[in-house]
Amino acid sequence: MTVDNNKLTTSSGAPVGDNQNSMTAGSRGPTLIQDVHLLEKLAHFNRERVPERVVHAKGAGAHGYFEVTNDLSKYTKAAFLSGVGKRTPMFARFSTVAGELGSADTVRDPRGFALKFYTEEGNYDLVGNNTPVFFIRDAIKFPDFIHTQKRHPQTHLKSPNAVWDFWSLSPESLHQVTILMSDRGIPATLRHMHGFGSHTFKWVNAEGQAVWVKYHFKTEQGIQNLDVNLAAKLAGENPDYHTEDLFNAIDQGDFPVWRLHVQIMPIEDADTFRFDPFDVTKVWSQKDYPLIEVGRMVLDRNPENYFAEVEQVTFSPGSFVPGIEASPDKMLQGRLFGYSDAHRYRVGTNHNSLPINCPHAKVSNYQRDGQMRSDSNGGSSVYYEPNSYGGPTESPADKPLAFKVSGEADSVGYDHHDHFTQAGDLYRLLSEDERTRLVQNIVGAMTPVDLDEIKLRQIGHFYKADPEFGQRIAEGLGLSVPGVV
């Protein structure tokens, strides 16, 4: 049978005879419910938007590949990292954190740096940011933190009071706040920023030996940032500036590249390191654990359809492959659940069967049914395990490495409470011009806060990081800090 592919059809494949006029009872009569094409169009239109991401709603993405330049198989048995020259297809999504889907690209905000590697052992997702640390270190605080970045329930406006109240009552945020308020808080483009896994992960080699690891993606385009006034101007004139820049660069053959390095810490060092290595508000000194090159990430192909690829792509820090495992990082542990659960709600229980998320590796399991099941749903094969009918079986060799646990089951925090040293170190690394802009940015952001109590509490944190840091902010806000803060 010959099919005319130029014919407009309904979703069930029937040809549409008239797409310009709805069916009515006479020229002026009411519209008829039997116009199923009209009903289908309106119903589908009402459902064209899936719920936007609660965080990282506004983003841009691209396809590319990861190529190994340094074989580190002595540290990890992950197949996609073995062998110099090995290439793995991948997809990257960059995003702002707090804004809605239609918000401006050039606001002061961390940028999401989410990567999906389509490996032969299944998909590996690395879901990080353009900063090496985060505001909080326990997932139980995440909903509260994000609430402060969103809109006030009465005014429906952003609330500096909520933002600085939370930060001042959560001193562990100081390191990330300092980075955010620095020049790097507004990248010039998505191509001109670094990316980080942020969390600590565990690598395991073929012999069952483990190390702790942190990921650093260094942009080969160089770091470039936006002046605050230019960023504000662009937010009004071209709110999609970063999205446009990434698309145009790839479209013109100017493919952005990042070079992946890792820091590797022996397992036993975690017990004696001066900071808790699983605390995501801290960095590891590169003097202690120098960067080791792994490979290059190249983005060389734009999406064909934004919704199908960028909007429907789903990432989860729990998407591991053999040789890469979780660490005791409390923030990571919460994200292992939170991200996949968000996708099941937002996109659907079968989100991993969508083309952009579907593993290139063979998928064999006993998960059946659910909304929008688009494949054969397992056909007539056996649907439970264990079974006697040759269904897929477990692979004991791929179990995560066993690890020891100890202590009482209780709600406990991290042992280390020095939230100030690393933020102070960062401040002292900045040039005088960079310090001046940092202080100006913080003063500008804190000026609208109503309560001096909140301002003074936050100034106290800056003062503990570096007395000059705190004093300059106090002076900028016209406040005097009583005694030694």
Active site residues: 56, 129
Q: How many whole angstroms separate alpha carbon 331 and alpha carbon 388?
A: 41
C-alpha distances out from residue 93 to 59, 246, 329, 377, 388, Å: 7, 11, 23, 29, 43
Strands (E), 315-456: 324-325
Q: How many whole angstroms separate alpha carbon 265 and alpha carbon 449?
A: 42
Which long-range contacts does 337-341 make (Cβ < 8 Å, 24+ apart)?
A: 338/139, 338/142, 339/127, 339/314, 339/315, 340/314, 340/316
Residue 307, amino acid: F
Task: Name, in order, each residue with C-beta under 8 angstroms of 340's C-beta and a sequence gap of 6 or more.
Answer: 314, 316, 318
Could you tell me what percentage of the chain is helix, strand and coil, using 3-state DSSP and rounding each to the nearest 5? Answer: 30, 15, 50
| H/E element, 59 | strand 59-68
Question: Which residue's entry shows tokens 């483990």?
Answer: 210
Q: Cα-Cα-Cα-Cα dihedral of 34, 37, 41, 43, to 10°?
A: 40
Q: How many CB atoms lie within 10 A of CB 221?
A: 17
Using CA of residue 265, residue 268, residue 272, residue 276, what is the dihedral sign?
positive
